[in-house]
Copies of this chain bind each other. A is one copy, B any other.
Amino acid sequence: MATSELDKYSKPSVAVDIVVFTIMGNELKVLLIKRGQPPFAGQWSLPGGFIQIDEQLEGAALRELNEETGVRDVYLEQLYTFGNLNRDPRGRVISVSYFVLVDSTKIKPFVTGKENISEVQWVSIEKLPSLAFDHDKIVKYALRRLRYKLEYTAVGLELLPDNFTLTDLQRLYEIILSQKIDKRNFRKKILSMGILEKTKVFKKGAHRPAMLYKFKKAKPISTFRGFKFEG
């Protein structure tokens, strides 16, 4: 590869950091890892790492996420690129951050052993510890984007199983937006979007069975009014 011209100046390192959201219990959670080596050894941080020279940015995000937590097959979207001079004590590191939504019934993160990581944990957004690097800022930004997108895209459906009740979906909105929503108005609006389809199957349980819904077609959500790009 003819990189000689590019090598005249010293280059920054480029990393990816990934904010993985899920809904568990009645909480919005973020996937964190506990670092096993410096800098910030023993501290919680976002999954992520350096990109390889012959690797796409999105590919790097997916690879790091999988290597560190076993998570794969997810909805991914670029967030923002953070480049403050002092964000990494080792030197100049620019981080391209990504935003991932997963269904917690499908995805079970674990310590893979491929990386020097001592723990992998879902942590409630309400109880986040102080994170390594500038990861607090990245999470804050990701949360803002999630709330924002939820209001006029169907991105939230990425957080649910294939079949779900309208009550499940409403609870998801309430958890993420931290506010009560009127049941009738919510149903009216979400159904009027025309993106859901009845499955004719009911969720059985202790009380009145609820109709299960699913997406129409192959989840056309991701790029609707959104910011996904560069295929």
Contacts and interface: CB of A to CB of B under 8 A. Distances in A.
Interface of A: 1-3, 5-6, 9-14, 50-57, 78, 80-85, 89-94, 96, 137, 141, 145, 148, 225, 227, 229-230
Contact of A94 (B1, B57, B80): B57
12 contacts: A3-B92, A6-B92, A9-B52, A12-B14, A53-B92, A54-B92, A57-B81, A57-B83, A78-B81, A83-B96, A137-B229, A141-B229
Q: Which 4 A-B pairs give the minimum distances between C-beta atoms?
A: A3-B91, A57-B83, A11-B11, A81-B81
Contact of A53 (B3, B11, B145): B11
Contacts of A145: 227
A56 B84 contact: yes
A37 to B, nearest CB: 10
A102 to B, nearest CB: 23
A96 B84 contact: no
Given A2-B91, A148-B225, A53 B96 contact: no
A14 B54 contact: no
Contacts of A137: 229-230
Nearest to A137: B230
B90 A2 contact: yes
Given A1-B91, A82-B230, 7 more contacts: A11-B53, A57-B94, A81-B96, A83-B230, A137-B230, A145-B227, A148-B225
